[in-house]
Amino acid sequence: MPSGPTCILGIETSCDETAAAVVDSDRRILSNVVLSQLEDHRVYGGVVPEIAARAHLDHLDAIVDRAVTEAGIGFDALAGVAATAGPGLIGGVLVGATLAKAVACAHGKPFLAINHLEGHALTARLTDGIDFPYLLLLVSGGHCQLLQVEGVGRYRRLGTTIDDAVGEAFDKTAKLLGLGYPGGPAVERAAAGGDPDAVALPRPMVGKPGCDFSFSGLKTAVRRRVEEAGDALDAERLANIAAAFQRAVAASLVDRTRRAVDLLEQEGIVGRPLVVAGGVAANGAVRAALAELAGARGMQFVAPPLALCGDNGAMIAWAGQERLALGLVDGLDFRPRPRWPLDPDAAPSIGAGRVKA
């Protein structure tokens, strides 16, 4: 066994970020290279899977080489190679996983197939070194879930969206307001100058039983406010709508998370950390509202640094470290997958009003 810290190369290509990083077992990020495809997709108002996959194919070799070079090591010094193997846009996932397998094979290193969501879920252990268990609110463009994180590979889903993810709601609202893409940062900037009390918007699912989310009705309400304003949608009204939307999202997330805390306390799980992860975790209003909830319930609040909220290779490398330490190595015949739930025992979000898996 090596006497010093071990290094893992992590590769992330599940959506529109081409990323690679090297992280060691002492939780040091030795390199973290992210190439955004933002300009490639901006004209379309969203990510185009074919364009994303081709961009990964064009740039990933150079990104991986840069990550290893910046880490100051060679490929032979790696203890393993980790890559997102799902869920995500399957074309991009295949590009990253295939290159990771090639590097692992060429240098005789273990290959680690990482669930993209587990990368987000374990980031708090990389940045803050927290222990299991903890409550995770995972919020991004494609996911909105509350999970009890019990250990590596051990997740219990407490709630999920019954329609749209919160990040998708931000993108749609930005489009309705003419703010461009990506929607999350654009809406937050607009909301900073608005009055959230000036526009009435619903608080999705607030006060209802359970821990599930819903954002389709909130998107519809935003569309109606925009239509009602018509030509009178000036900068002030736009900012007010953005501010009201952001407050409604924060209220919904806090209410659902509070119910998850209640549920865990009923089970005797008290005072464990509250973690928020995913792209929407970068939103200041959301972070502040959740931090207030955590403080009121006597919980440590953990949110990753902004650079680690979005998709990145460091979270994949760290998940690789966690799995390698447990001997959870994958074969080169591992098949990437577009869908990969963290809690395989959770009921699919279909039926009884649930319209998406």
| Average pLDDT over all residues of the chain | 94
Fold match, 7-123+308-325 / 132-299:
yes
Element holding 33 (H helix, E strand): strand 29-36
Q: Report pTM.
A: 0.94
Q: Domain 7-123+308-325 class? A: alpha beta
* Residue-wise pLDDT tens digits, 203-225: 999 999 999 999 999 999 999 99
Cα separations (Å) of 233 from 188, 223, 225, 299? Answer: 18, 12, 9, 41
Confidence of residue 347 (pLDDT cuts 50, 70, 90): confident
Confidence of residue 142 (pLDDT cuts 50, 70, 90): confident
Instruction: List, as own/partner pairs, every contact residues 229-235 make where C-beta atoms lie below 8 angstroms and the sequence separation is at least 24, other chains included.
Output: 233/177, 235/193
pLDDT of residue 349: 59
Structural contact between residues 169 and 218, judged by C-beta atoms closer than 8 angstroms: yes
What are the extents of the domains in the chain?
Answer: 7-123+308-325, 132-299
DSSP string of 279-345, one letter each residue: GGGG-HHHHHHHHHHHHHTT--EE---GGGTSS-HHHHHHHHHHHHHTT--B-TTPPP-S---S-TT
Cα separations (Å) of 75 from 5, 69, 80, 228, 332? Answer: 15, 9, 9, 59, 18
Confidence of residue 2 (pLDDT cuts 50, 70, 90): very low
Classify domain 132-299 by CATH number.
3.30.420.40
* CA dihedral of residues 217, 219, 223, 224 (deg, nearest 10): 30
